[in-house]
Structure 1
Amino acid sequence: MRRLGELEAEIMERLWAWGRPATARDVLVDLNRKRPLAYSTVKTVADILFRKGVLRREKDGRAWVYEPTLTRQEYTAALMRDALGDNPDPAGALMSFVERMSAEEMDALRSALRLAKRRAGT
């Protein structure tokens, strides 16, 4: 999975935070609080995200209502999987990553590994 562009990420951040479907107009109103954007720009980027499979959409009257197809965590995991898959030394990449983690992040990783082990039944 490719990393999202700046405006793509801003749109996704709002949809993830809201936890509900929204129109391009809803997103535009929120984005315009920080910087002016045209409706057509937000609509075009939302349509691109739809074509990439990151958003699903459903017609509501004349407007499309958009909703993420994956959670923020699933998106992050997909980026990490791709990064490891492209690396000829995934163990080395993981080690470099872990060495830069905070104590809290290491605790979270340990918890995730324990949970994954339980789910795998081993």
Structure 2
Amino acid sequence: MTGGTDGPKGSRRRARGELEGQVLAALWAAGGPATAVVVHENLGDDDTAHTTVLTILTRLCDKGLVTRRREGRSYVYTPVDDRPGMAAAGMHSLLDDGGDRAVVLARFVSDLSAEDERLLEQLLHGDGPLRG
């Protein structure tokens, strides 16, 4: 079953992993360790139950993407990496799982804009700006 389609009542089903991405974004938006309540508020989605957010945060902990520590009667959650670090890790994972590395990289590079090509070339030569 693929996500992103309308359900029986017209509500949109999320694509696989979409809610995890949204929860991570809400956690990053918190700017520091946050409770599930804060993450739920940052989602700005009244259709997603608080218990669903807790489940997603637990899954993210199990995957090593988020840490949690007890604070009072609840947990506070912290992302292990920032957005650029998470994106880079995802790119490495896709490259590792993509089969022929040369073909995967060639296809990736062939779709880059001229500006991104220049930036990548600068980074490969140690001349590019590294931020954050």
- TM bucket (normalised to shorter chain) is 0.7 to 0.9
SS in 2 for 1:21: coil
Aligned to 1:16: 28
Take 1:88 and 1:10, find their aligned partners in 2: how far apart are those partners?
A: 29
- Aligned partner letter, 2:100: D
Select the structure that is richer in helix: 1
4+ long deviations beyond 4 Å? none
CA RMSD of aligned residues (A): 2.1
More relative contact order, 1 or 2 (CA 8 Å, 6+ apart): 1
Q: What's the TM-score, normalizing by structure 2?
A: 0.74
1:11-90 → structure 2 map (5 Å cutoff): 11-31=23-43, 33-90=44-101
Within 2, Cα distance between the matches of 1:78 and 1:111? 20
Q: Which runs of 5+ in 2 are unaligned?
A: 1-15, 128-132
**Structure 1 unaligned residues grouped into runs of 5+:** 117-122
| Cα distance change on mapping 1:115 and 1:88 into 2, 3 Å | same
- Report the secondary structure of 1:67's partner residue: strand
Taking structure 1 as the reference length, the TM-score comes to 0.80
> What's the % identity of the aligned pairs?
38
CA distance in 2, matches of 1:65, 1:108: 37
